[in-house]
């Protein structure tokens, strides 16, 4: 009996171990030389997210994630200008990173909302230089870095994110990047050049000319490819598809019978009419009439910077029209998209001239805007719940960066006959919800 039992158990063990074998996957770098990698870009490349540069964001930066996959194809090392792990981070306006928690609004309603983890950002990260000539950085994603400033001498004086990582106070970003002598590079510049305009509701008018853009981009690519390096560039996405511009509805003004009557009596003489239910907010427009006020149109956009408590409790958007800095009107949207198209034309031409792979970021941002399913996860451009954008509504969260990285890997593989694996974006976090 005992023998039979032993026989049965050992037979069972044999059956149990009858498993399909894992085949060796062939990861090939194709025509690439991956002995070193550098990325040059703005906030999106740096790991900036939740409106701050902080450790976890850097861990999941576009730069670090591309490097992580290149490591599988032989990249020996990659260094980032790390912020301390415990730091609350610091944003371009000096504030700490955002997180999701409960907030009670002016009407006493409590709901989930992005909040700052600390009253002020961690300015200490700017106080010392972390440059080391023996461990050159691979991540030259610098929050706020404009293409047009990339060759600017003494750029440290202008941008503290660069000053902490610069080789010297007189250095330009481009000169530091070129001294890495990288064998493979990525350039994702231009977003910061259009971001001021978009985030200020068109009130900061500093969009460069196409020629200036062309000259600066060409200078960058000539430098990067001088040693024969191959690379990947990326176009500029349509920012107006991002949650920063799409979250607050144009027609969020809900009126009851009494308010409806009041508003009609005030605005009917100007030719604006209201109904019970949802209505367009009133915005400032100096060209509209002598009172410089009109209803917002359905294809115009409110910015996430709009002070919602003023809207809810202090008649903003009703008796007090919403100021220009919180609105992208039709003219501004056209101006912004027109310029982005011009710049993208430049980037596409140069990519082909320098024989580079190119990521069409506009298609990716549009795909997010339309929504899609990734390995069973519904992904969209919806604020908080969409799962791709961080709480600042412009920069991606770790999962968004992982998906974005896959777009880069896709074109790199295509262009250079490589088979670098993509990331499992599902294992990267999206927005964390309080317990």
Partner 1 sequence: MRKILVFLTVLLSTSIFFCQGFQVNFQGQKQQGMGCAGTALYQDGASIFFNPGSVAFSNENSINLAVTPIFANVLYTDSSTMESYRTNNPIGTPFSAYGLFQLKDYAKLKFGIAAYTPFGSTVVWEDNWIGRFALTRLKLQAIFIQPTISYRIADVIGIGGGLILALGTVELEKDIPVQDSSGVFAHAKLTGKARAVGFNFGVHYDLTKKVTVAVAYRSQINMRLNEGEAEFTVPSSLDANFPDQQFTGSLPLPSVTTLGLAYKPSKKVSCVLDINYVGWKVYDTLAFDYETNTSSLADTKSPRNYHNIFAFRGGLAYEFNKFLTVRAGGGFGFTPVPTSSVTPETPDANRAYVTGGMSVHLNDQFCFDASIYYTQLQRTATNGETNLSGTFETKAIAPGFAFVYKF
Query: Contact positions toward partner 1, by CB under 8 A?
Result: 11-12, 15-16, 18-23, 25, 27, 102, 112, 372-378, 385, 387, 406, 421-424, 426-427, 429-435
By beta-carbon proximity to partner 1, the closer residue of 6 and 12 is 12
**Inter-helix orientation angle 330-353/210-225, to 10°:** 30
Q: Considering the complex, what minimum distance in angstroms separates the CB of residue 434 from partner 1?
A: 5
Q: Considering the complex, what minimum distance in angstroms separates the CB of residue 368 from partner 1?
A: 15
* H/E run at residue 230: strand 230-234
Q: Considering the complex, what minimum distance in angstroms separates the CB of residue 7 from partner 1?
A: 12
Q: What tokens does 28 get? A: 């090939």
Angle at 381 between CA 234 and CA 326, to 5 degrees: 90
By beta-carbon proximity to partner 1, the closer residue of 308 and 426 is 426
Q: Yes or no: say if 371 and 246 are a contact pair by the CB < 8 Å rule.
A: no
By beta-carbon proximity to partner 1, the closer residue of 263 and 412 is 412
Q: What tokens does 102 get? A: 């409960």
Give the count of beta carbons closer than 10 Å to the beta carbon of residue 200: 18
Q: What tokens does 162 get? A: 């660069």
Q: Considering the complex, what minimum distance in angstroms separates the CB of residue 419 from partner 1?
A: 8
DSSP states of 48-116: -BTTBB-HHHHHT-HHHHHHHHHHHTT-------PPPTT---B-TTSPPPEEEEEEE-TTS-EEEEEEE
C-alpha 386, offset from chain centre: 14
By beta-carbon proximity to partner 1, the closer residue of 293 and 431 is 431
Q: Yes or no: say if 238 and 337 are a contact pair by the CB < 8 Å rule.
A: yes
Q: Yes or no: say if 292 and 286 are a contact pair by the CB < 8 Å rule.
A: yes
Q: Considering the complex, what minimum distance in angstroms separates the CB of residue 153 from partner 1?
A: 43
By beta-carbon proximity to partner 1, the closer residue of 151 and 377 is 377
By beta-carbon proximity to partner 1, the closer residue of 20 and 108 is 20
Q: Considering the complex, what minimum distance in angstroms separates the CB of residue 24 from partner 1?
A: 10
Please, which residues bridge with residue 140 across strands?
40
By beta-carbon proximity to partner 1, the closer residue of 273 and 372 is 372
Give the count of beta carbons closer than 10 Å to the beta carbon of residue 222: 11
Q: Considering the complex, what minimum distance in angstroms separates the CB of residue 125 from partner 1?
A: 24
Give the count of beta carbons closer than 10 Å to the beta carbon of residue 214: 18
**171, 175, 176, 182: CA torsion to nearest 10:** 180
By beta-carbon proximity to partner 1, the closer residue of 68 and 308 is 68
Q: Considering the complex, what minimum distance in angstroms separates the CB of residue 11 from partner 1?
A: 7
Q: Considering the complex, what minimum distance in angstroms separates the CB of residue 377 from partner 1?
A: 4
Which residues lie closer than 8 Å to 160 by C-beta, 6 or more apart? 126
By beta-carbon proximity to partner 1, the closer residue of 101 and 132 is 101
Q: Which residue shows structure tokens 């490589």?
A: 418
Q: Yes or no: say if 167 and 150 are a contact pair by the CB < 8 Å rule.
A: no
By beta-carbon proximity to partner 1, the closer residue of 319 and 432 is 432
Coil, helix or strand at residue 420: coil
Q: Considering the complex, what minimum distance in angstroms separates the CB of residue 358 from partner 1?
A: 20
């Amino acid at each position: 009996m005992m023998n039979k039992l032993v026989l049965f158990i050992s037979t069972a063990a044999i059956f149990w171990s009858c498993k399909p074998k894992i085949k060796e996957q062939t990861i090939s770098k194709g025509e690439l030389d991956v002995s070193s990698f550098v990325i040059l870009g703005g906030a999106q490349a740096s790991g900036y997210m939740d409106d701050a540069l902080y450790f976890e964001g850097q861990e999941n930066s576009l730069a670090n994630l591309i490097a992580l996959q290149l490591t599988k194809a032989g990249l020996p090392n990659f260094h980032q200008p790390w912020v301390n792990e415990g730091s609350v981070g610091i944003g371009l306006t000096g504030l700490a990173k955002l997180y999701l928690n409960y907030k009670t609004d002016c009407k006493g309603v409590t709901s989930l909302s992005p909040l700052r983890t600390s009253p002020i950002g961690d300015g200490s990260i700017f106080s010392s230089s972390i440059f080391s000539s023996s461990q050159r950085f691979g991540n030259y994603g610098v929050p706020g870095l404009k293409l047009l400033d990339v060759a600017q001498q003494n750029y440290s004086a202008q941008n503290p994110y660069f000053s902490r990582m610069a080789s010297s106070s007189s250095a330009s970003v481009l000169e530091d990047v070129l001294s890495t002598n990288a064998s493979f590079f990525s350039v994702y510049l231009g977003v910061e050049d259009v971001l001021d305009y978009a985030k200020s509701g068109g009130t900061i008018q500093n969009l460069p000319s196409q020629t200036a853009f062309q000259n600066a981009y060409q200078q960058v690519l000539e430098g990067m490819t001088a040693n024969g390096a191959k690379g990947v560039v990326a176009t500029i996405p349509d920012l107006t598809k991002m949650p920063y511009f799409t979250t607050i509805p144009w027609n969020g003004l809900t009126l009851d019978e009494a308010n409806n009557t009041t508003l009609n009596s005030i605005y009917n003489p100007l030719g604006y009419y209201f109904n019970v239910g949802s209505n367009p907010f009133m915005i400032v427009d100096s060209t509209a009439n002598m009172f410089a006020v009109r209803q917002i149109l359905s294809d115009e956009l409110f910015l996430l910077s709009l002070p919602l408590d003023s809207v809810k409790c202090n008649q903003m958007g009703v008796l007090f029209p919403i100021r220009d800095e919180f609105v992208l009107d039709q003219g501004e949207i056209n101006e912004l998209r027109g310029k982005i198209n011009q710049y993208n034309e430049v980037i596409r031409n140069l990519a082909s001239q320098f024989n580079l792979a190119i990521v069409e970021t506009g298609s990716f941002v549009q795909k997010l805007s339309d929504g899609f399913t990734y390995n069973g996860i519904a992904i969209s451009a919806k604020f908080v719940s969409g799962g791709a954008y961080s709480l600042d509504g412009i920069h991606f969260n770790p999962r968004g960066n992982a998906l974005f990285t896959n777009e880069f890997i896709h074109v790199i593989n295509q262009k250079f006959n490589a088979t670098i694996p993509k990331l499992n974006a599902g294992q990267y976090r999206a927005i964390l919800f309080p317990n």
